[in-house]
Amino acid sequence: MMATAVEQVVPSAMGDKVVLKDADLTLHVPIFDLAEDNESLRMAVREACKTIGFFLVKNHGVPEELLSRAFSEMRRFFSLPIERKMQVAASTNANNRGYTRWAEETLDVEKSTQGDTKEGYYIGREVPPDSPETSLPLHGPNMWPADLPGWRETMEEYVSAVITLSVRITHLLAMALDLPEDWFDQYFTRPLTALRPLHYSAELSDPAKGKFAAGEHSDYGMLTVLATDGTPGLQIKPRGCDRWIDVPTIPGTYVINLGDMLQRWTNDVFMSTPHRVVNVTATERYSLPFFYEPNYDTKVECLPSCCSATNPPKYEPCISGQHLIGKYSATHKDFANEKPHTMNGTGGQ
């Protein structure tokens, strides 16, 4: 059932907040103004990451015209006949780049009785065919649709802008952990990035019958930068919460949510919040998540400052790229991974 949250934006001493109310529950979601410097924001960011695992940002530096153009191009591609879209299907390459068909992904494999009611597209970091990096899983050239002038150029321009934003967020996260501002940069010299245009159908969701627009999950990597077309449907279940809460769309902001790798790095100090998408409006929905993940060979293990003799690490170390491959393999019917895991997890130097 959809949460009956009522939202409003209120000012506070540490910036604006969205107040979400549902029966006896009140949730405060901060809106961080990136026109401010990192030092003035870091403690409020730390609190948000410890409690709800996501927040909003404004004055983020991504031009509104560029975002609007990216949504227009996304709609243009998804309006093509299925035969045209399948010409750039992700199932035809081992790099997880290109189109993913309707219901190809099932994010909640335990509760879902069918695939998620959406189609998508993966655009990764462009790696030339002659680069040594192509020996790695998830690395290689992108799949670009033919006869759509301006589509590739717009998406690449948008990716460049949102990478700049993502770097700023990682600097904020580092400072929130009392680390040097650029501490995470060493693990993002060859990042596993993914822009994932998504088109949700108008089919109504029915969680009781296992039918979701996107099933319950937490994001796999470091962080997600999300823009939507304003259509409702995104819900979160924060730490300690027993119900699903609607995430409102605030014009001019991005939703930032943390991923599993950051939760592992911080030993649960920072949270990767479960979320899902349910369709209760019988309308189509478009969203544009950008996933910013560490280098393929990054060894993600508990930060020394986040564990102790009385609070030992809760997770075994994992390798960034192998972690992602495991998640893709479990949720995508058509995921093709034919490359060996050749890196040893020594970090992103």
Dist CA 154 CA 51 (whole Å): 36
pLDDT band, residue 253 (cuts 50/70/90): very high
CA-wise closest residue to 53 among 29, 19, 18, 20:
29
Q: What is the pLDDT of residues 190-239, one digit of tens each?
A: 999 999 999 999 999 999 999 999 999 999 999 999 999 999 999 998 87
The pLDDT of residue 26 is 75
CA-wise closest residue to 215 among 109, 289, 291, 288:
109
pTM (predicted TM-score): 0.92
CA-wise closest residue to 300 among 282, 286, 314:
314
Dist CA 160 CA 10 (whole Å): 32
The pLDDT of residue 345 is 34
Q: The domain spanning residue 27 has which CATH number? A: 2.60.120.330
| Residue 216 lies inside a defined structural domain of this protein | yes
- pLDDT higher than threshold 60 for residue 246: yes
pLDDT band, residue 242 (cuts 50/70/90): confident
| Residue 310 lies inside a defined structural domain of this protein | yes
| Residue 149 lies inside a defined structural domain of this protein | yes
Question: Between 347 and 282, where is the model more confident?
Answer: 282
Give the domain range for residue 221: 6-331
Residue whose tokens read 């592992």:
264
Distance of CA 48 to the CA centre of its chain: 17
- pLDDT higher than threshold 60 for residue 6: no
Q: What is the pLDDT of residues 330-349, one digit of tens each?
A: 999 988 765 544 433 323 32
The pLDDT of residue 15 is 61
Distance of CA 349 to the CA centre of its chain: 24
**CA distances to 106, 114, 222, 348 from 212, in Å:** 9, 8, 24, 37
Average pLDDT, the chain: 90
- pLDDT higher than threshold 60 for residue 285: yes
Question: Between 130 and 6, where is the model more confident?
Answer: 130
- pLDDT higher than threshold 50 for residue 11: yes
| Residue 327 lies inside a defined structural domain of this protein | yes
The distance in angstroms from the start CA to the end CA of the chain is 47
Residue whose tokens read 């911080």:
266
Q: What is the pLDDT of residues 85-126, one digit of tens each?
A: 999 999 998 899 999 999 999 999 999 999 999 999 999 999
Q: Where are the beta strands (DSSP E) in the chain?
A: 6-10, 17-22, 25-33, 54-58, 98-100, 118-124, 192-195, 198-200, 214-217, 223-228, 234-236, 245-246, 254-258, 275-277, 285-293, 299-300, 318-319
The structural domain count of the chain equals: 1
- pLDDT higher than threshold 90 for residue 293: yes
pLDDT band, residue 25 (cuts 50/70/90): confident
| Residue 286 lies inside a defined structural domain of this protein | yes
| Residue 340 lies inside a defined structural domain of this protein | no
- pLDDT higher than threshold 70 for residue 32: yes
| Residue 209 lies inside a defined structural domain of this protein | yes
| Residue 142 lies inside a defined structural domain of this protein | yes
- pLDDT higher than threshold 60 for residue 248: yes
